[in-house]
Structures are given as structure tokens and as C-alpha cells.
Chains A and B, each alone.
Chain A
Amino acid sequence: MNRFALVFRLPIIVWQGLFFLGPLFFMIVMSFFLVKNYRMEEAFELKNWARMLTRGYVWDSYWYTLGMAGSATLVATLVAFPAAYALAFRVSAEVRRWAIFLLIIPFFTSYLVRTFSWYVILAGSGVINAGLGTVGFGPYTMLNTPFGTVVGYLTLTLPLVVILQTVALANIDQNLVQAARNLGCSPPRTLISVVVPLAKTGLIIAALFCFILSFGDFVAPYYLGGSKPPTLPILIIDTTKSGQQWPRAAVVAVMMMLTLFAIAATAIWLAYRRRIAS
């Protein structure tokens, strides 16, 4: 290989090796280190793992995080679908392009500021309750509830889910849909037996992204969900920042990675699995 080729090929290998694979690998190794007198010492002990895996609060957090991220994924998928369907089939290509451009905008606004906005909107004396109060309802408690957490997760993920679903639906071969209708298939039946199966891969990938983002987010469960119990990302922050217990935080992080790998592998298998003709 000549020098020219190397100049272009090597930089990313060195950079990502040092600053992407290096950190992740070190984090796994660090989960076996020990902390003595607030200092980390190289070691190979299973103490952190034994400690974290036998604590009830860790597993409470684990199942709670899994449940909340799973609920958010389900809600986002169901909420986004009719919107994506409308964008894919009921508006012109021009409107669709503009809608997708608008949906990209939220990625460039601070997610923190949007969450803070929801905090003010959802608060006991906030905009929604003040509005409902004038017509004699409420006040309702929306902050520090699972509802608040899901609102936050959707703020982060819904635009992406709508975009991915729209692309998946817009790529369906319209002749197949038309054929089903011509052969006497009712609209609901066409939706379930033709449209959804054809868009399956895109719909599952959208849900997977929603899950990954929700599972790893600490802002929504902390500010809008009240952190009771803390989710795994909050547990990582608390363990790292207050206790200097980096190895224990690394245990939680590795647990999260393994869980995500398992879920991503399952989702990708489902997304690309060929349907057996029945």
C-alpha cells in the first residue's frame, strides 16, 4: 500500500482506537478495579460486580429503566404512526419535504431547554393547569410522575421516530397497496396485512432508536420524572459524581451496554427476518 492511501486510511484507526475503543475497553477493565481512600487502584476483583448485582436498588432501577424506555418506545411508535402515515400518503411531496425539514429543527435546539420548558408548562401552577383552572379543572400532578418522564422521552425521540417511519412508509410500492384494494381488501385490513408488513424494517429500526435514546437519557427521568427510583443513567451520574465510585458506575454502564446489545440484536433480527409464506 502506498503512502497516499495510508494517509487517508490510518487517521481514523488511530483516533477511534485511542478515543473510542480505548475508553470503552478501559471502562470494562475499570469495572474490576478497586477504590481505596477515594483513589482508584488497578486490580482484578469481582467485588464491584458482586456488590452491584446483589443490591435491590440496582435491580429496581434496572427494571424501572427498562419499563420506562419500553413504554416510551410503544407510545412513540403508536403516536408517530398516524402522523407518518399522513405525511407518506396524504400530503404532496413538497409538503412532506417541508415537514421533514421542520422535524429536523428540534435536533438543533437544546434538549435541556426543551425539558425545562416542559417543566414550566407541566408544573402544578404551570401553563396547562392555569389554563384548565379557568374552566374549572385540575390542578393535576404531572411532574415527578412516569407521565412526566414519558413526555420528556418523547420530546427527545418523537421527531426522529416520525421521520424514520415516514421514510419507511413512503418507500412502499404503491402498486401492492392498490392491488390489495382492487382485490377487495378493506382499508383496515390493507393497513395490517400489506402496509405494516412492507414497512416493518423501518418501523422496527425507528422503535429501536427510540429505545436506545430513552434508555440512555438522564434528563427526562431526573427533571420531569422526579428520579424515584433513579434510572440507570442517573445511577451512573450519582455513583460517579458523588461517591467517586467510578468502577461501580462502570458496572452499571456495562450492564446497560449488554442489555442494549441484546435488544438491538433481537430488533435487527426481527426487522430483517423474511416472512415465511403461509
Chain B
Amino acid sequence: MSGRIATGLLLGWLLLVFVFIFAPIVASVIFSFNSDRFPTIPLGSFTTHWYDTIFADAEIGEAARNSIIVSLSTSVIATTLGFATAYTDYRYRFRFKGPYLALILLPPTIPLIIMALAMLAWLSWIGASGQLWSIIIAHSVLTAPFAMAILRLRLHQIDPDLEAAAWNLGSSEWRALRSVILPFCRPAIISAACLTAAISFDEFAVAWFVSGLNKTVPVIILEIVQGNIDPQVNAIGSLVFLTSMTLVVLAQLFFIARVGRA
């Protein structure tokens, strides 16, 4: 049967594509437990040495603290902006709505290196570069569209009569928002917060340009990689991966499962 051979070939190709995509991820986790400074075949012995050294490194600890502050603040700002915009889009019609939505949705289509240069130049011109909050400002711009998209999808599922019913029963617009819209959106809000935090936690180009002396974890990785072959990168990478995946799985649990069902 030629059909079966074709299917076999296609599935084999699919498998190869997955191998290509996951090879570097799996390899970095394996290398992080490998004793050789420069991993090759056959592998060296099992060690947790690289994890010990990064936990002992004060600079990496400082960077981890910076990263946590940046990604948490970013997620709060981006999710707030995303919610306000998604709600406006859901409820109101007005002139220039197209350009209004473009304003929040366009940043991901601009290459990060260009955003990095533009942010650096502008923030230093207004005297706001080189601070931790410079990164927070930049990351909020970059991640707000993702929060907006998730929240807009959720608002798409609400019955518009619910809010109207609350108004008719005498509640103010604020009260209706708090008692009807926000509870309905809660899973999406948590999901958007996790997702924006995860994106911010991984971003290095813009953070590298505007951070000055306040380095985040990805910026430290960039600097280590520039220097030499250092397996500590694999250990840091594996921990970052673990953190991001936890956030994504949380986002998934709170949102994607429910949207699928609703």
C-alpha cells in the first residue's frame, strides 16, 4: 500500500522535526549534570557541581532576585493594561478603534533588537535608563499584547446580558465590573499574569540594552556565553526552564483547560 508507506514517511519526518526541536533542550539538561567542562561522547560522570557553583555565586543570586522583581512587576502592569484594553474592545465601539488596537498589538512584530535600541535611546533621553524599572517598563510594552489576547478570548465567552442585567438591577458600572466581569475573567487573569511573567523572565535583548548594571538572569547567561564554554549555563538554563514551565503549566491549568470546556 503506497498510502501506508507515505503515512510512515510523514510520521518519520515529523519525529525528526521533533528530535531537532528538542535535542538542544534535552542536551542542555544532560550537560548540566555532566562532569566534563566541554561535553562530548562518551559523557563524563554524573555531578551536581554546576548547580552548587551557581547557588554559591552572589552575582547570579542578585540576578535571580532582579529577574523575579522584573517579571512579577511586568506581569502586574501588563495584565492590568491588557485587561483595560480587552474590556474596552469588548464593550465599546468608537472611531479609530483599529489604530487603538494596533497600538497594543503591534510590539511583537517589531524585532527585539530594534525595540532594544529605541528603548535605550528614548529612556536615556528622558533620564529613565539603567534602572530595574527601565526593564519593567520595556517588558510591559512587549508582553501586554499577550495578556490582552488571552483576556479578550475570555471576554468573548461571556454572555453580554449578564452585565446588562446587573445594571438593570441597579448596580453601578464599577459594581457590575467587580461582581460579574472580574470573577468571570479570573482564570484568564491568572493565566495572563503567568504567561507575561514567563515571557519577561526569558527576555534578554531589551533587558541587556536598558538594564545598565542591574542584570537579570538571561543577561548573565548572555555574558557568560560571550566569555567561554561554561557548563554553568546549562544548569542556569535548566532552572530557568523549570521556572517558566511551572508558570506555563499553571497558565494552562487555569485557562486553556476551561476555555476548551466552555
Q: Chain A: residues with CB nearer than 8 A to chain B?
A: 2, 4-5, 7-9, 11-13, 15-17, 19-24, 26-27, 30, 79-80, 82-83, 85-87, 90-91, 99, 101-106, 108-121, 123, 125-127, 130-131, 134, 154-155, 158-159, 162, 187, 212-213, 215-218, 223, 233, 236-237, 240, 246, 249-250, 253, 256-257, 260, 264
Find residues 71-99 in chain B having any chain A CB closer than 8 Å to their own CB: 80-81, 84-85, 87-88, 92
Per-residue A-contact encoding for B103-133, CB less than 8 Å = 1, 0 else: 1101101111111011111110100000000
Query: Do A236 and B138 have beta carbons less than 8 Å apart?
Result: no
Query: Do B144 and A12 have beta carbons less than 8 Å apart?
Result: yes
B100 at interface, CB cutoff 8 A: yes
Least distance between A138 CB and chain B CB atoms (Å): 12
Query: Do A121 and B111 have beta carbons less than 8 Å apart?
Result: no
Query: Do A118 and B10 have beta carbons less than 8 Å apart?
Result: no
Q: Is the interface of A mostly helix, strand, loop or mixed?
A: helix
Complex alpha-carbon distance, A102 and B11, angstroms: 16
Query: Do B103 and A12 have beta carbons less than 8 Å apart?
Result: yes
Q: B106 contacts which chain A residues (CB < 8 A)?
A: 20
Query: Do A216 and B113 have beta carbons less than 8 Å apart?
Result: yes
Query: Do B14 and A87 have beta carbons less than 8 Å apart?
Result: yes
Query: Do A24 and B27 have beta carbons less than 8 Å apart?
Result: no
Write 12 A-B pairs (CB below 8 A) sorted by A numbering.
Answer: A23-B115, A27-B114, A83-B10, A83-B18, A90-B11, A105-B248, A112-B218, A117-B27, A117-B234, A130-B41, A155-B24, A216-B113
Question: Which 8 residue pairs spanning A and B have beta carbons closest together?
Answer: A216-B111, A113-B237, A117-B24, A23-B118, A23-B122, A108-B244, A86-B10, A114-B24
B237: contacting residue among A4, A110, A155, A215, CB under 8 A: A110
B17: contacting residue among A21, A108, A158, CB under 8 A: A158
Find residues 4-25 in chain B having any chain A CB closer than 8 Å to their own CB: 6-7, 9-11, 13-14, 17-18, 20-25
Query: Do A121 and B248 have beta carbons less than 8 Å apart?
Result: no
A253 with B25, Cβ < 8 A, contacts A8-B88, A110-B241, A120-B31 known: no
With A9-B92, A99-B18, A120-B31 known, 9 other A-B pairs at CB within 8 A are A8-B87, A13-B103, A15-B140, A19-B122, A108-B202, A110-B221, A121-B24, A216-B113, A217-B113
A9 with B122, Cβ < 8 A, contacts A20-B103, A82-B10 known: no
A114 with B7, Cβ < 8 A, contacts A12-B84, A19-B138, A216-B114 known: no
Q: Chain B: residues with CB nearer than 8 A to chain A?
A: 6-7, 9-11, 13-14, 17-18, 20-25, 27-28, 31, 38-41, 80-81, 84-85, 87-88, 92, 100, 103-104, 106-107, 109-115, 117-123, 125, 137-138, 140-141, 144, 173-174, 198, 202, 204-205, 209, 218, 221-222, 225, 229, 233-234, 236-237, 240-241, 244-245, 247-248, 252
Query: Do B103 and A113 have beta carbons less than 8 Å apart?
Result: no
A113: contacting residue among B121, B234, B247, CB under 8 A: B234
Query: Do B27 and A121 have beta carbons less than 8 Å apart?
Result: yes
Q: A223 contacts which chain B residues (CB < 8 A)?
A: 225
Query: Do A8 and B23 have beta carbons less than 8 Å apart?
Result: no
Q: B9 contacts which chain A residues (CB < 8 A)?
A: 82
Query: Do A26 and B121 have beta carbons less than 8 Å apart?
Result: yes
A15 with B233, Cβ < 8 A, contacts A79-B17, A127-B41, A246-B117 known: no
Query: Do B122 and A16 have beta carbons less than 8 Å apart?
Result: no
Query: Do B234 and A237 have beta carbons less than 8 Å apart?
Result: no
Least distance between A186 CB and chain B CB atoms (Å): 11
Least distance between B245 CB and chain A CB atoms (Å): 6
Residue of B nearest to A10 (CB): B84
Q: A4 contacts which chain B residues (CB < 8 A)?
A: 173-174
Q: A102 contacts which chain B residues (CB < 8 A)?
A: 18, 22
Least distance between A210 CB and chain B CB atoms (Å): 13
